[in-house]
């Protein structure tokens, strides 16, 4: 059973799991849509209460960003959702931007964090990530949202997956263009990600963290995940062998097994690093 609402301008959905279940909050990446996590919903709701929300500036949430916008502001929005639902604490699973927001939350609101999962995230500016975002912002500024969205799969998915799913991606493009949050909103969100740097403060994060990454991520080099895991005091590193930046979509079954096991404090299934 699901219910939805808005708190602090943020649209959320609560999907109830078994009675007495822990709560998991899912925070998506740059696109900001809660629907990004659809491939995880069946696996998670069988065991947890699950909260989805659209980031500020995206989907059914307010299109007005905090000024200045930052990853800390994104973390504050997770806290706002928790406050709106009277949740003293929760597990948080974040992809890229959502993972960075989770790290900020764990650092600044440690009592609100149970277990944290950071998927294809980073702790400081990275030259390759900056190069990718420079290309994407140039497309957006010079050619507009349609060109930006058309190029987006290159950064998200492996080449073979793009070829095999070309019809699906093409069918999605008009809907994505229609729902695009606007050039200035997207540029501000990208700038917030590029400015994020808590590398020196990683040892202060005490929450258990699963650092989950894909070896073939085109956007966030796997060395970023390896650095996170090395510097966080209570981290577990799991590297998927294939799937790209959005391997939560392309390799969902394997990711879901690892995700559920970690949130339930169970041994992880074998990974590429074992």
Round to whole Å and give the CA distance between 182 and 179: 9
pLDDT attached to residue 274: 42
Does residue 63 sit in helix, strand or coil?
coil
Total-model pTM: 0.97
E strand intervals along 98-165: 113-119
pLDDT tens for the 274 residues of the chain, in order: 689 999 999 999 999 999 999 999 999 999 999 999 999 999 999 999 999 999 999 999 999 999 999 999 999 999 999 999 999 999 999 999 999 999 999 999 999 999 999 999 999 999 999 999 999 999 999 999 999 999 999 999 999 999 999 999 999 999 999 999 999 999 999 999 999 999 999 999 999 999 999 999 999 999 999 999 999 999 999 999 999 999 999 999 999 999 999 999 999 998 744 4
- Quick one: fold of 2-125+197-263? Rossmann fold (3.40.50)
Q: Which residues pair with 214 in a beta bridge?
A: 240
23 closest CA partner among 8, 39, 12, 36: 12
Burial (CB < 10 A; 0-12, 13-18, 19+), residue 265, is exposed
Q: Which two tokens stand for residue 51?
A: 């909260």
39: DSSP letter: H
Tell me what pLDDT residue 272 has: 45
> What pLDDT does 220 receive?
98
Phi-psi region of 264 (alpha: psi -120 to 50; beta: other; left: phi over 0): alpha
Q: Which residues contact 252 (CB under 8 A, 6 or more apart)?
A: 39, 40
Q: What gap in Å lies between CA 204 and CA 231, rounded to an integer?
A: 10
CA-nearest of 28, 27, 21 to 44 is: 21
| The pLDDT value given to residue 192 | 98
**DSSP-derived secondary structure letter, 27:** E
Tell me, what's the pLDDT at 1? 64
């Amino acid at each position: 059973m699901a219910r939805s609402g808005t708190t602090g301008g943020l649209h959320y959905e609560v999907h109830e799991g078994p009675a007495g279940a822990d709560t998991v909050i899912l925070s998506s990446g740059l696109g900001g849509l809660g629907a990004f996590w659809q491939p995880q919903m069946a696996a998670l709701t069988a065991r947890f209460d699950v909260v989805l929300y659209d980031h500020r500036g995206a989907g059914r949430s307010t299109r007005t960003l905090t000024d200045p916008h930052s990853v800390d502001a994104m973390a504050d929005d997770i806290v706002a959702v928790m406050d709106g639902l009277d949740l003293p604490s929760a597990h948080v699973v974040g992809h890229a931007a959502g993972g960075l927001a989770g790290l900020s939350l764990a650092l600044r609101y440690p009592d609100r964090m149970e277990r944290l999962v950071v998927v294809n995230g980073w702790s400081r500016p990275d030259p390759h990530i900056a190069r990718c975002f420079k290309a994407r912002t140039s497309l957006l500024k010079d050619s507009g949202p349609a060109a930006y969205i058309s190029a987006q799969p290159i950064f998200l998915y492996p080449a073979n997956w793009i070829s095999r799913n070309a019809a699906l991606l093409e069918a999605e493009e008009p809907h994505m263009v229609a729902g695009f949050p606007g050039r200035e909103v997207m540029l501000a969100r990208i700038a917030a990600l590029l400015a994020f740097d808590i590398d020196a403060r990683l040892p202060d994060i005490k929450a258990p963290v699963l650092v989950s990454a894909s070896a073939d991520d085109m956007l966030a080099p796997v060395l970023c995940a390896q650095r996170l895991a090395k510097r966080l005091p209570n981290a577990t590193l799991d590297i998927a062998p294939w799937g790209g930046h959005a391997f939560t979509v392309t390799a969902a079954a394997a990711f879901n097994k690892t995700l559920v096991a970690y949130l339930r404090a169970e041994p992880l299934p074998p990974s590429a690093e074992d």
